[in-house]
Structure 1
Amino acid sequence: MKIPGVTVQELMAIPELKEAKVLSGEQGMNRFVRFIDIMEVPDLKGWIREGVLLMTTAYSIRHEPEVLCQIIQLLHQGGAAALAIKPTRFLTEIPRSALEASNACGLPVIEIPAEIPYTDITQRVMDMVLNRQAELLRRSEGIYRTLTTMVLENSGIQAVSDNIAELLKAPVALIDNGGQAIVTSPQGWDWKKAQDSRHFPINVDKRTVAKLVIARNELDDMEQVGIEQARLVMALELMREKAVEDTESRLRGNFIDELMTPPVPLRHEVERRGRQLGFNPAYDWEVAVLESAAAPPEETLSGLLNLESARRRVVSHIEFRSNRAVLFLPTLHSNDHQDGDGTEEERSWAETLKSWTSEKALGKGDYYIGIGSTRKLWELLQSYNEARRAITVSQRLYPDQRVCTYGDIEMHYMLGEAMDTEEFSNVFERKLGKLQQYDRSHGSDLLKTLFYYLENRGSLIDTANYLFIHRNSVKYRLERIRDMTDFDLNDPREQFICHTCLIHYYLREHK
């Protein structure tokens, strides 16, 4: 914050300057005087301070009065308050070019009578500046005590914001780094529509975590002091809230670890701790797992989940572990919906996650999402394991299907587990061993073509679309398969055996 000062207008009202005259630059009378200095040499570059009142007798430029024009320009560029000059002793008159330059930039040029000592002016000006600083300090301490008391009494950040708005007589808002309003005063104020506003960063741990928006463009010294204190207090409040959130997050993480690791705590213990940590045990829960080659987009994924949870009026949770995100998704029972007539059925979480991928809301990435079946809170381990299984089967059988529920692949998984025997491997070898050897020798995809032909219920077009090849290519490959195996692919029994063998191959051979 700048050092408080007095305006040139206030300065001209003191008794010591009652005979002084403002020669030019009257539009700059509201400039603040914070320091006072005397010019001995005309070389001012590098040492002009903002808010300085420069006094001179013009002795150093008595032979070159035109230099005064350059001095005025330098003072204006350095943010000086005014130029006070005693011209009668060493200058016959102030050059017109200097007065024009003063009027052009709005830097006041003041003529001081020769008989007024510099010490009378400097002492009076510094007394005024120091008194103003002392008054601002007292009021600053008062504002700080008021705001910190509100924080210590846990009045909440909304109360702090309301107090600041009252102090400044203007709407204020605290905005997070994502552009969302944390609080506004008055509540509901649309800060984005404010035309004349100023933004001030709120820093915690040397990081900007939010910004304070004030619907005012011009602020006096007292208001600047209030804003500085408000920034500090809001940083303390955000730090306190962050400490609470970190503690809750750690406790939730520990709770989730216990739910995901056998043996799971007893039901009554899960219900008790779930209520404390935002896991409502009255809801049904699904676990969705997102796995990717790199770390998932935490901010994007959390933002999407928060918006969808608010729309559903539930509290969801998400945990990030290395290259995996685990989503805990609650579902309200039909009788829990209080609004509407209940005729519109809420779409499932699986449909929501599929919409995120189809709309590319998660961005580009090599990720798979598995969704477990609906369970009670104390049964989340089963849903988590099912989600992981859904990803495993999807990666091996349907690599282009990015979102997969356990219900979609439950039978495939059960078959894969049941077929993990030497006898079934022998069946595969008898039925499809020739095709496997041919693919390995020729780098072809006969097995894959047969699998997706059966998956698409014998549709040449759907199979071709899935494999990104022409329909005639599918037809040619099927003819090769018939020639090598003598399969009748129109026989339902033959289809079942081949389909089952291929599921065994893709689930177990690449395990």
Structure 2
Amino acid sequence: MTISLQDAMKIGGLRECRVIAGYQGLDAEIRYVTIMEVPDIVRWLKGNELMLTSLYPIKDNPEAQKKLIKQLHEKGTSALAIKPNRFVEDIPLPILEEAEKYGFPVIEIPEPVSYLDILSPVMNTIFDRKVVLQEDLEEAYRLLNEVSLNEPGIQSLIDILTHLTKHNIAIESLVSFVDTPLLNSPFQDFKHQQIEELEHVQRPIRLKRRHKEAGSVSCITAPIIVDGTLYGAISSWDDAQEHIEADLAILERASSVLALEFMRRKVRYEVELQYKSDFFRALFRGSTSHTKDLEEKARGYNILPERCYMCCAVYFEQADTTGTFLTDHMTKLEMIIHHIEPHAVVGMMHHVLYILYPTKGKGEERALLDMNRFIREFEKMFAKTPFAGTGRVSSNSFSELQESFEQAETALSISRTLHLQDSRPVHYDELGVYRLLAQVSEEEELTRFYTETAGLLAEYDDKHNLELIRSVEEYFYHNESVSAAAESLYIHVNTLKYRLQKVKTLTGWSLQDSEGKLMIQLGLKIGHYIHHGYRQR
């Protein structure tokens, strides 16, 4: 077994030493540590040695010093560590020049550091690697497999890994169905790029992580992969001691063991998720007079009306392409939501995500701010803004909670109808007249009203391309300012006046009369409402 010179410089007496030439060779591997105090030792070298010397045999011979560096380089020696002060005051310049020429590392040993301070720790590390890999690795695998079979808990696994690797260990979960003690990670969340890298390589890699107390830390992180997706990770770190090959093997086996455990819990979670979806359907789609049994089940799902929920409904367009989209990502969505509000209740029905946000003690303003945070986090996760709608805050009754649920559904449906995709949900109270239109059960009557008002303008536009609909919309948008609307349309004021007069000619309603304005505006709203297929949402 070997150890790199760069890693060796962090062990024992070498921590007090410094490389003064040949930095290019720091990746050289060390297999042995030997001492040179006789001139012909070079012939016995096999390669990969760290040689320690006082230069006594060649202290007065510059040519021999240059020749030594060349010979060591040709033999494949890893580095030369020189202890001056006793026989040479400083490390000779010919040695440094020749070392730079070959990229051969030369190390200066300070006076207080003995050869033994270097030789023993480095050789012990090399020997320990051999022992662990040859004798202890199978025992480590056995212990890890017992953890998996006996399921003693995640904390037991952390203890075992700490014992086996002699490093700090943290196990992190990115899914909601594995939550203790994994959520108490000492690190900040993974960056999106790190998640992609772990999912790609699917084996332990070295990462720079941000420790909540110690700042930037170099870790070995082993991904916990289920169905190609990162569900969690095991991170190992230690400033005082480097990782060895056995650590990587142990962490990789541990991540495989945990992947099986995560898979089992995932299956159980998906079954529970189906039950929860069925319950949501019974609670919110059923009668407003809920039975005592239903209310008891609600409390079992931590739905407590006294928390005064605001309901939010979220739809992801990606759900149109795969029927399992929400199921596949539900656990990560729950993690995002519970990170912001731990007492929120999350469920799904018909490819729609529902969030019951408890407002008691927080207020509606805080609830809306957190809803906005949910949407922004979803945007980061899927690189696309979802549609979302929220209802009013319910009081402490299931019937009002059902009303908030229905309002959120209405707001979501209309936001999809009108393509109101924004980084915040559409609130039910912001829907204006669409709230009333949503209550009309006779679509034929809405269609007739549209045909008698704005529909006449649309029909004329189709035949003559006069843009009457757009002109009227801009006119109302600019609070009936003809000049502002004309400027927005890039037309002359007189042209717009002609178009507005045409509206009266076609519909019989004048935009100078309040009744006429109301009829045309309603017609426009109904046109948006029925032509985007709200009823099919």
TM range (shorter): 0.5 to 0.7
Q: Corresponding residue for 2:57?
A: none
Call closer, same or farther: CA 1:401–1:131 in 2, change over 3 Å: closer
CA distance in 1, matches of 2:185, 2:370: 38
| 1:317 to 2:317 alignment | no
1:257, 1:236 → 2: CA distance?
33
Which digits, 9 at most, give the CA deviation of each residue in 1:280-319, with x for residues without a partner?
A: 5543251313243766997999868745543334234254
Does the Cα contact within 8 Å between 2:47 and 2:75 map onto a contact in 1?
Answer: no
Counterpart check, 1:353 vs 2:378? no
Confirm whether residue 215 of structure 1 aligns to residue 242 of structure 2: no
Does 1:497 pair with 2:519? yes
Q: Is the 8 A contact 1:287 1:329 kept in 2?
A: yes
Q: Please tell me whether the aligned partners of residues 171 and 184 of structure 1 are also in contact (alpha carbons under 8 angstroms).
A: no
Q: For 1:266-277, list aligned pairs within 5 A.
A: 267-277=291-301
Q: What is aligned with 1:124?
A: none
Counterpart for residue 243 of structure 1: 264
CA 1:183–1:28 in structure 2 vs 1: closer, same or farther (change >3 Å)?
A: farther
Give the Cα separation in 2 of the matches to 1:471 and 1:267: 65
Confirm or deny that 1:447 pairs with 2:469. yes
| Residue from 45, 49, 53 that aligns with 1:29 | 49
Task: Give 1:317's aligned amino acid.
Answer: V
- Tell me the residue number matched to 2:32: 8
2:311 pairs with one of 278, 286, 294: 286
8 Å CA contact retained: 1:165, 1:185: no
For residues 195 and 268 of structure 1, do their structure 2 counterparts lie closer, same or farther at Cα, with a shift above 3 Å needed? same
| Offset from partner CA, 1:407-430 (integer Å, 9 cap, x none) | 333743433654837666555555
In structure 2, the partner of 1:66 is none
Check the 8 A contact 2:454/2:527 in 1, yes or no: no
The aligned amino acid for 2:315 is L
In structure 2, the CA distance between the partners of 1:304 and 1:459, relative to structure 1 (3 Å rule), is: farther
Write the distance in 2 (CA, Å) between the matches of 1:485 and 1:386: 34
Q: Does 1:229 align with 2:250?
A: yes
Pairwise mapping of residues 9-408 of structure 1 onto structure 2 (< 5 A)?
A: 9=33, 21=41, 23=43, 28-29=48-49, 138-144=135-141, 154=151, 156-165=153-162, 168-174=165-171, 182=182, 190-191=210-211, 197-204=218-225, 207=228, 209=230, 210-216=233-239, 219=242, 224-260=245-281, 264=286, 267-277=291-301, 279-280=303-304, 282-283=306-307, 284-292=309-317, 306-307=335-336, 309-317=338-346, 319=348, 324-334=351-361, 346-349=365-368, 352-353=371-372, 356=375, 365=384, 367-374=386-393, 385-396=406-417, 398-400=418-420, 402=422, 403-408=425-430
CA distance in 1, matches of 2:364, 2:227: 48
The share of aligned pairs that are identical, in percent, is 16
Task: Give 1:88's aligned residue.
Answer: none
- Cα RMSD (Å): 5.8
CA distance in 1, matches of 2:217, 2:443: 75
Within 1, Cα distance between the matches of 2:414 and 2:489?
Answer: 21
Q: Distance in 1 between matches of 2:489 and 2:384?
A: 21
The CA distance in 2 between the partners of 1:100 and 1:278, in whole Å, is 70
> Deviation string for 1:461-483 (max 9, x for gaps)?
88679x77679475554344245
Q: Is the 8 A contact 1:419 1:504 kept in 2?
A: no
**CA positional deviation for 1:442:** 1.6
User: What is the letter of the counterpart of residue 292 of structure 1?
Assistant: E
- Shift of the 278–7 alpha-carbon distance from structure 1 to 2, 3 Å rule, reads farther
Distance 1:353 1:132 in 2: 52
Deviation at 1:251, TM superposition (A): 1.0
User: How far apart are 1:247 and its partner, in Å?
Assistant: 1.4
| 8 Å Cα contact 1:446-1:481 kept in structure 2 | yes
What secondary structure does 2:442 align onto?
coil
Alpha carbons 1:290, 1:370 under 8 Å: kept: no
Matches of 2:274 and 2:399, distance apart in 1: 15
Whole-Å separation in 2 of the counterparts to 1:418 and 1:104: 84
SS of 1:347's equivalent in the other structure is helix
- Give, in whole Å, the separation in 2 of the partners of 1:353 and 1:186: 27
Q: Distance in 1 between matches of 2:134 and 2:391?
A: 61
Name the CA distance, whole Å, in 1 between partners of 2:217 and 2:301: 42
**8 Å CA contact retained: 1:290, 1:325:** yes
* 8 Å Cα contact 1:420/1:508 also seen in 2: no
Deviation digits for residues 211-250 of structure 1 (CA, Å, limit 9, x no counterpart): 5332358647xx5435533442344235324422441243
Aligned length, in residue pairs? 415
CA distance in structure 1 between the aligned counterparts of 2:239 and 2:336, rounded to whole angstroms: 31
CA distances 1:382-404 after superposition (whole Å, capped 9, x unpaired)? 655544433443455x4456443
* Counterpart Cα distance in 2 of 1:453 and 1:316: 44
Partner of 1:64: none
- Shift in Å, 1:492: 2.3
Query: Secondary structure of the residue that 1:197 maps to in structure 2?
Result: strand
Unmatched 5+ residue regions in structure 1?
13-19, 32-68, 80-98, 107-128, 338-343
Structure 2: give runs of 5+ residues left out of the alignment. 4-29, 52-69, 79-97, 106-125, 176-180, 189-208
The alpha carbon displacement at 1:504 in A equals 3.5
Other structure's SS at 1:310 match: helix
Distance change in 2, residues 1:309/1:405 (3 Å) = same
Cα distance change, pair 24–470 in 1 and its aligned pair in 2 (3 A)? farther
SS at match of 2:235: strand
For residues 262-286 of structure 1, the C-alpha deviation after alignment (integer angstroms, 9 at most, x for no partner) is 8649544444444444545543251
In the alignment, the residues of structure 2 paired with residue 138 and residue 410 of structure 1 have an alpha-carbon distance, to the nearest angstrom, of 74
CA distance in 1, matches of 2:74, 2:348: 61
For the 8 Å contact 2:389–2:426, the answer to whether it is kept is yes
Equivalents in 1 of 2:359, 2:388: separation in Å?
22
Tell me, in whole angstroms, the C-alpha distance in 2 between the residues paired with 1:498 and 1:426: 13
- 1:412 alignment partner in structure 2: 434
Shift of 1:441: 0.9
Compute the TM-score of the two structures, normalised by the length of structure 1: 0.58
Distance 1:481 1:26, change over 3 A: same
Tell me what 2:192 maps to. Answer: none
- TM-score normalized by structure 2? 0.56
SS across alignment from 2:366: coil
Q: Which moved more, 1:298-307 or 1:410-419?
A: 298-307
Residue 199 of structure 1: CA displacement?
1.9
